[in-house]
Amino acid sequence: MLYLGIDLGTTFSVAAYVNDHGQPTLFPDFHDANEFRTPSVVHLGEEGCLVGTPVEEILEDEPGLPHARFFKLDMEAKLPVFTDSDKREWYPQALSALVLKKILKDVDAFAHEDIGGVLIAVPANFNDAQRRATKLAAQMAGISQVKLIEEPVAAATFYGVHQAGGEQTLFVYDLGGGTFDATVLQSSEDGLYALATEGSNTLGGKHIDERIVRFIVEEFQRQHGFKPDDPASQQVLRRFANEAKHTLAKPGKGRINKTLVIGGRTLEFILTKDRFHQLIDDFVDDTLAVCDKALRASGMDWSFIDTVLLTGGSSLLPLVMDKVARASGKERDQLVCKQPHQAVAYGAAILAQQAFGQASGKALQSICSYDLGIRTLGRDGQPAVKVLIEQNSAVPASATTTFYTSRDDQTRVIIEAVQKRGEGDGAEEKSLGYFAFGPIERPRKKYPLEIEMRYDLEGIVTITARDPESGRQIQQVMDEETEALDKALFEQRGWLQKMDVNV
């Protein structure tokens, strides 16, 4: 039996398993045995579905080719994010499923073994909708046994393999292609315990690239008097910005000097390392502010941290390393940055063996990354959230509260469930939707209804209601928006079943 760990990334997806010698190992690409990552990019055209490197290669010659990428950042979208040449509209769940299908083909070509379970890593800061969407993507790809794990937990697990043991406090700084997670963990002989986590879906390599694109566009506008904003130009700019970033991240490279052709016009482009660092200085500071929040929530500061673990491709940027070293009071070479592109998939593979197979390992304690509660009207008549489970509580966790009907003839109670974190200006609030419970058989004013909210081990929320007088569970009625989404996704599941991913 094969147990897979998959890092379903914003920009790259990677799959790993633990080989017979106990080593986590990546699966190579079907066509290229030296390539172990699949760019998370999809093209759907007349000739079928293409995923990964072939799409990138076509885009080099045909930058206008319709394609979908970065859909992981829209994972909670209740609307489609891409229209194919047949005018079919695709949701992020289905696009992610296509990436997974491509990966499963690679696995199948390499291993010829049945898959006993798949552990998919998700950012710690993924909310309920994003986690559900990821699981659904796996199911749409035909994976029947799937569980989720947090990316920093997977990375720390991989790191633990190389560690002699002992008690220590870890900080995982995970700056990927589109997301950032900052997590404080305690590691001991027997277990790995998450203490606090904070994160952002607007801090990642994509957002760094966008800053470089903006810089080039301003220069272009100065020289040519207009902004190149057609899709083909955007694609050329995006690719170029990404290449420039990679070049400037290398030691010794102090500047880039290149002639660009965009929309039929040329641009003499110069970007020095210093200017690049100016462009992203506040971006890196923003990641450090997120780190401070995580530290504060765990009741610590940097001086408590024994080991800082850097993961995610963007953590390779020299400015990131310098600033993290300075903030954490460590030397740059004390930061642990081992295989930052693979660490999450490797850790997920190790944990997949434990989750689905016979392997034993350290105990794991995950936490929830959002407060969970119900939106109510406060005393002042303003909407407020009554928090039932606080962010950074150990999961699984559950809590109950009692609601009372307000009218004699009221047979249903409707609540809005909310995930939130932070206060004031930086507060984030995400509605999980409206949940209607009923019918109440013998309604009367002030009839009580007990609502239970629960985080499971994977950070997924369930909400149930009980009539405390009869002990009966009261059914949940689905809201219209969720019903419409379910219908659309059911249809997409049908498309996917009939569709082959060309590899």
Please state the closest distance from residue 145 (CB atom) to ligand ATP, in A: 23
Residues 364 and 172: their CA atoms lie apart, in Å, by 15
Contact between 9 and Mg ion by CB under 5 A: the answer reads yes
Contacts of 226 (CB under 8 A, 6+ apart): none
Q: By CB under 6 A, is residue 245 in contact with ligand ATP?
A: yes
d(CA 431, CA 418): 4
Nearer to ligand ATP, 130 or 179 (CB): 179
**How distant, in Å, are the alpha carbons of 151, 209, 231, 494 from that of 206?**
18, 5, 16, 32
Tokens of residue 109, six digits: 């070509």
Total binding residues toward ligand ATP, as defined by CB under 6 A:
23
CA–CA separation, 317 and 381 (whole Å): 49
Show the site string, 192-231: x = touches ligand ATP by CB under 6 A, - = not.
------------xxx-------------------------
Q: Does 125 interact with ligand ATP (rule: CB under 6 A)?
A: no
Q: Does 72 bind ligand ATP (CB under 6 A)?
A: yes
**By CB under 5 A, what part of segment 161-190 binds Mg ion?**
176
SS3 457: coil
Pick the closer one to ligand ATP by CB: 233 or 314. Answer: 314
Site string for ligand ATP, 6-35 (x = CB under 6 A): -x-xxxx-----------------------
Helix (H, G, I), strand (E, B) or coil at 34: coil
Site for ligand ATP contains 287 (CB under 6 A):
no
> How many CB atoms are located within 10 Å of the residue 230 CB?
13
Options 219-227, 314-322, 328-336, 403-411: segment touching ligand ATP (CB under 6 A): 314-322
Candidates 58, 232, 300, 316; binder of ligand ATP (CB under 6 A) is 316
Q: Rounded CA gap, 144 and 289, in Å?
A: 39
If one asks whether residue 433 binds Mg ion (CB under 5 A), the answer comes out as: no
Rg over CA atoms, the chain: 24
Query: What is the closest distance, in whole angstroms, from the C-beta atom of residue 176 to Mg ion in the complex?
Result: 4
List, in sequence order, every residue forming a beta bridge with 193; answer none if it has no partner.
Answer: 186, 365
DSSP one-letter string for 246-305: HHHHSTT--EEEEEEEETTEEEEEEEEHHHHHHHHHHHHHHHHHHHHHHHHHTT--GGG-
- The nearest distance, CB 94 to ligand ATP, in angstroms, is 18
Q: Which does 117 bind (CB under 5 to 8 A by kind): Mg ion, ligand ATP, none?
A: none
Identity at 198, one-letter amino acid code: E
By beta-carbon proximity to ligand ATP, the closer residue of 2 and 343 is: 343
State the amino acid at position 33 in one-letter form.
A
What is the number of the residue whose Cβ is closest to ligand ATP? 205
Which one, 321 or 453, has the nearer CB to ligand ATP? 321
Identify whether the C-beta of residue 235 lies closer than 8 Å to the C-beta of residue 60: no
Q: Are 66 and 45 in contact (CB under 8 A)?
A: yes
Element (H, E) at 490: helix 480-498
Query: Which region among 86-94, 189-197, 240-248, 490-498 touches ligand ATP (by CB under 6 A)?
Result: 240-248
152 touches, from Mg ion, ligand ATP, none (C-beta below 5 to 8 Å by class): none
Nearer to ligand ATP, 51 or 374 (CB): 51
Q: Are 93 and 489 in contact (CB under 8 A)?
A: yes
Instruction: Candidates 2-10, 106-114, 136-144, 288-296: pick the segment binding Mg ion (CB under 5 A).
Output: 2-10
Binding site for ligand ATP (CB under 6 A): 7, 9-12, 72, 176-179, 204-206, 242, 245-246, 249, 312-314, 316-317, 341
Q: Interface with Mg ion by CB under 5 A: which residues?
A: 9, 176
